[in-house]
Each structure stands twice: as C-alpha cells, then as structure tokens.
C-alpha cells in the first residue's frame, strides 16, 4: 500500500509587501510529504526555507497556491481553524526554544494540552512521562533560566509531543546548541521517527544535521532545485 500524503504544497507563492516593494519569498513551490517520512529542507539564507516551514506548519498562508494537510486546503482557512489544526496535528521545535520563562519545565510541557482541554490529571501524568522520555525527570520543576540550552531544547521537544501530533517541525533545532547537545537532540528526533513513526521535517543549514534525514530538499530563491528522494 502506498504511503499516505500528509502534506502537499502546490504551486505556492508567498509575497511580502516591504513598503512599496513586493518581495517574493516562495516562487511556485511544489512538494509532497508522505506519512512517516524524515526530511530536511536546506538552502542558503534568503532561499525561502523558513517561509516554507511556516506555510507547511500552518503558521502562515500562501499569497497564491494550495497547501493541503491531510487533504484539507489550509490556504482557505481562518486563523482560528489554523490554530486548531496546529494544536492537534503539528508539534514545533524552534531554534530559540520559545519556552515561557515564568513556567517550570513541567508547566511548559503541559501548556499545549491546556488549549486542547485535556483533564488536569492527564496533563500532568503525560508531561511527567514526556520529560522522563527526554531524560529530564530530575529537572521538571526547574525554570528555563535554570536549564542549559540542551536541556531547554529537550523540554521543547517534550512540549512538541504533548498532544501526540503526527508531524514534528523543527526550525534549526540545533542552531543554538553545541555539537554534543545538538547530536542528542537529533538522536531524539531520529528515535521519534524510527520508534514512533512520526513524520519529521527539519529546516537546517548544517549538513551533519540534514544527514539524519532520509530525504533532503534544497531551496534557492524560493524554488525547489533539488529533491534527492526523486533523483
């Protein structure tokens, strides 16, 4: 049986208005992502890779073109509808961690479940289990300022898994980490792909990080110029 296509980007343009100038970040991007894939999107600064991530992750909508998530066209959705899909279908891991500084690690992981109306007892037990999964059982009551960069990113991964999303998006997930912690984070993402069959999509400019992926896409000037899965 052929793998299900979970994301389809069809002739997507994203044009930003910078004063009187229109700046195209994506120029007719086409790509498909199948369930349980692990792919890396690469490209130089200004290639459009972060814009592509925002479009795929329902954080933005295209200027023109179609974006399908599980067969539903998100390009036509309201912000409220996009937020609902993000909360249920997608987990995000960002370069700058984006943890709430006034919350403990445990509370940060619980946060996405609050928006999905998960019962309190289940929120806490699942968050404890996720922090244990990423090796932070002893640090769950610490605030982000009391954690190292690697520990903060592992909290962010646990938070991304809070609602058991099908897709994990990582935007330069090792960008603020040293090589040892970067390797630990990528091993965690690799395990999620291999053991839990998550669909993983990462943005990176580091070849050694992209090497964890099964498939690499290269963007330049807002266009897909290479897809090594279809060479």
Return d(Cα 169, Cα 94) in angstroms, integer. Answer: 8
pLDDT of residue 229: 66
First to last CA, the chain: 22
Share above pLDDT 70 across residues of the chain, in percent, rounded to a whole number: 98
Contact (CB, 8 A) for 8 and 32 = yes
Burial class (CB in 10 A: 0-12, 13-18, 19+), 117: exposed
Q: Per-residue pLDDT averaged across 169-190, rounded?
A: 92
What's the maximum distance between 2 C-alpha atoms anywhere in the chain?
53
Q: Per-residue pLDDT averaged across 182-211, rounded?
A: 93
Q: What is the CATH number of the domain that holds 113?
A: 3.40.50.300
pTM beyond 0.85: yes
Q: At what angle do helices 149-160 and 120-133 cross, to 10 degrees?
A: 130
pLDDT of residue 79: 85
Side-chain-facing half-sphere of 160: CA atoms under 13 Å: 30
pLDDT tens for each residue of 146-171: 999 999 999 999 999 999 999 999 99
pLDDT band at residue 231 under the 50/70/90 scheme: very low
Print the domain residue range for 108: 5-230
Return d(Cα 38, Cα 200) in angstroms, integer. Answer: 5
> What's the mean pLDDT when you consider all of the chain?
91
β-bridge mates for residue 67, sequence order:
9
pLDDT tens for each residue of 49-101: 999 999 999 888 899 999 998 888 988 888 888 888 888 899 999 888 899 99
* CA 14 to the chain's CA centroid: 19
| Contacting residues for 25 by C-beta, under 8 A, at least 6 apart | 14, 15, 16, 48, 51, 222
For 164: left if phi > 0, alpha if psi spans -120 to 50, otherwise beta; the answer is left
Specify the 3-state DSSP secondary structure of 196: helix
Contact (CB, 8 A) for 154 and 173 = no
CA neighbor of 141 nearest in space, from 118, 108, 100: 108
Specify the 3-state DSSP secondary structure of 30: strand
Q: Lay out the sheet containing 5-18: strands in order across.
A: 21-34, 5-18, 64-69, 72-73
Q: Work out how many domains the chain is built from and give that number.
A: 1
Q: Per-residue pLDDT averaged across 32-56, rounded?
A: 92
Q: Per-residue pLDDT averaged across 101-110, rounded?
A: 96
């Amino acid at each position: 049986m052929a793998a299900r296509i979970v994301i389809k980007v069809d002739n997507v343009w994203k044009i930003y208005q910078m004063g009187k100038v229109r700046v195209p970040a994506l120029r007719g991007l086409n790509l498909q992502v199948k369930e349980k894939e692990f792919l890396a999107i690469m490209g130089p600064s200004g290639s459009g890779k972060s814009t592509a991530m925002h479009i795929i992750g329902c954080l933005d909508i295209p200027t023109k073109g179609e974006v399908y998530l599980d067969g539903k066209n998100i390009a036509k959705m309201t912000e409220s509808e996009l937020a609902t899909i993000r909360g249920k279908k997608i987990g995000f891991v960002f370069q700058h961690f984006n943890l709430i500084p006034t919350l403990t690690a445990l509370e940060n992981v619980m946060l996405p479940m609050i928006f999905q109306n998960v019962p309190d007892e289940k929120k806490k037990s699942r968050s404890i289990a996720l922090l244990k999964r990423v090796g932070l059982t002893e640090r769950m009551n610490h605030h982000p300022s009391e954690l190292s960069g690697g520990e903060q990113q592992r909290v962010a991964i646990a938070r991304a898994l809070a609602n058991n999303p099908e897709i994990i998006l990582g935007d330069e997930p090792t960008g603020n980490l040293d090589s040892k912690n970067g390797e630990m984070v990528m091993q965690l993402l690799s395990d999620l792909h291999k053991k839990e069959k998550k669909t993983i999509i990462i943005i990176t400019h580091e070849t050694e990080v992209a090497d964890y992926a099964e498939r690499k896409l290269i963007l330049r000037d807002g266009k897909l110029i290479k897809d090594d899965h279809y060479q």
